[in-house]
Amino acid sequence: MVDVTLLGTGGMMPLPYRWLTSLMIRYNGSSLLIDCGEGTQIAMRERGWSANPIDVICFTHYHADHISGLPGLLLDMANSDRTEPVTIIGPKGLERVVGGLRVIAPELPFEVRLREFSGDGEAFEMFGYRLKSFKVNHSVTCYGYTFEVDRAGKFDKDAAVAANIPLEFWSRLQNGEIINTGDVTYEPSMVMGPDRKGIKITYCTDTRPVPAIEENASGSDLCILEGMYGDAEDAPKALKKKHMTMQEAAKIAASANVQELWLTHFSPSMGKAKRYEAEIKEIFPAALIPKDGETRELNFEED
């Protein structure tokens, strides 16, 4: 089971009723946080969570509303007696940015491992999931991410019996092991059916619509996209500042064939974002204007 929570839905600055956009994904006892603007640690506390289980922090780009909460969060983790290393992932410049932010949080009781990437499509395999970056188009270098948990095929008992594979090897084959015994070799493909559908989440904010979003979000169970503006008259502003409107995001979700769309990163000038929901649902019916703390539990499909 993958547990997804959008801690905040705001862009640019935190407001009394709207925290900055940040995504928490919890899987297999490990937590991943994507983006950490000012106040993210408070948004997390509001859910009743400690910062302690966060193993990975990941940045989309280096604008303050996505990173300035880092020193406070690291100090919060230190305060929770964390000693295990923390990995921070981000585009080129990560070392410089984290170094700068850590001037006010230099002493930590855990190691901070930096994984800086450049280019397109870098993937990180950790804690049983795969995080993949894709480049988008914002006023500074910016990336979206997909989070994926794969699911192996079903064990075919009849095939194992038919191939005379001894019972003692079945579970090892199920775990992907190739077994050599005497002059016989048993391979997982002899007993495993085709890979089954896993779980996929896409998170992409602060960008103009680009084909990479649709390509990477394709088939997501949950797709979280920027919807900075909802009024048609704000479309030129989105173009100029390299942000995306709700309508543009909904069109991407429709062509990427995702199961569900959440919009986020609302402009501080936008009052109740929910009022746009009916219009957005006309473009993509499975769209939601979430509130801060919106949560979804994603499970593997029943066989």
Binding site for Zn ion (CB under 5 A): 11, 63, 65, 206
Angle in degrees, CA 261, 267, 272, rounded to 5: 70
Which residues, in sequence order, are CB contacts of 233 under 8 Å at separation 6+?
none
10 or 71: CB nearest Zn ion: 10
Least distance in angstroms from the C-beta of 37 to Zn ion: 8
11 or 90: CB nearest Zn ion: 11
Which residues, in sequence order, are CB contacts of 161 under 8 Å at separation 6+?
none
186 or 230: CB nearest Zn ion: 230
Least distance in angstroms from the C-beta of 135 to Zn ion: 14
Cβ proximity of 249 and 225 under 8 Å: yes
d(CA 81, CA 151): 34
d(CA 41, CA 49): 9
Least distance in angstroms from the C-beta of 187 to Zn ion: 48
Secondary structure E strands in the chain: 2-8, 22-27, 30-34, 54-58, 86-91, 112-117, 123-126, 129-135, 143-151, 179-181, 184-186, 196-204, 222-226, 261-264, 287-288, 294-298
d(CA 106, CA 231): 44
Cβ proximity of 294 and 5 under 8 Å: yes
Catalytic residue among 65, 76, 206, 234: 65
In the chain, the amino acid numbered 112 is: V
Least distance in angstroms from the C-beta of 23 to Zn ion: 13
206 or 221: CB nearest Zn ion: 206
Length of the chain in residues, anyone?
303
Both tokens of residue 251?
């069109």
11 or 14: CB nearest Zn ion: 11
Cβ proximity of 191 and 228 under 8 Å: no
Least distance in angstroms from the C-beta of 12 to Zn ion: 6
Give catalytic status of residue 65 as yes or no. Answer: yes
141 or 174: CB nearest Zn ion: 141
Name the DSSP class of 229: B
For residue 264, what are the CA distances in angstroms to 21, 208, 294? 7, 14, 11
Least distance in angstroms from the C-beta of 8 to Zn ion: 11
Cβ proximity of 263 and 290 under 8 Å: yes
- What are the residue numbers of the active site? 65
